[in-house]
A and B are shown apart, each in its own frame.
Chain A
Amino acid sequence: MTTVSPGPAPLVPSFGEESSGRKLAVICSKGNLDMAYPGLILANAALGEGVEVHLFFTFWGFDMINKSTYADLKFTMLGNTATHLPQGLGGLPGMTSIATSRLKKSIAGLDIPDVPEFLDQIVDSGGHLWACRLSADMQHLDEDDLIDTVEGVISAADFIEKTEGAQIIFI
Chain B
Amino acid sequence: MPVTTIDGHTIHVDDEGFMTDYDEWDEQLASTLAGQIGVELTDEHWKALHFLRTDFREKGETPTLRRVSVSAGIPTKTLFALFPAKPAKKMAYVAGLPKPRGCV
Q: Give A contacts to B, CB under 8 Å.
A: 7-8, 10-16, 18-19, 41, 44-45, 48-50, 110-113, 118, 121, 124-126
User: Which residue of chain B is the closest to A47 with respect to CB atoms?
Assistant: B80
Residues in A neighbouring B67, C-beta threshold 8 A: 111
A124 touching B75, Cβ below 8 Å: yes
Nearest first, the 7 A-B pairs at minimum CB distance are A50-B85, A124-B76, A11-B4, A10-B6, A11-B17, A13-B17, A13-B16
Q: Is B73 part of the binding interface, using a Cβ–Cβ cutoff of 8 Å?
A: no
A15 touching B89, Cβ below 8 Å: yes
Residues in A neighbouring B77, C-beta threshold 8 A: 124-125
B52 CB → nearest A CB, Å: 15
Number of interface residues of B (CB under 8 A): 32
Specify which of B36, B80, B87, B89 is in contact with A12 (CB 8 Å cutoff): B36
Q: Give B contacts to A, CB under 8 Å.
A: 2, 4-7, 13, 16-18, 33, 36-37, 64-67, 69, 75-77, 80, 84-90, 93, 102-104
A119 CB → nearest B CB, Å: 12
B75 touching A50, Cβ below 8 Å: no
A10 touching B36, Cβ below 8 Å: yes
User: Which residue of chain A is the closest to B103 with respect to CB atoms?
Assistant: A41
Residues in A neighbouring B85, C-beta threshold 8 A: 15-16, 18-19, 49-50
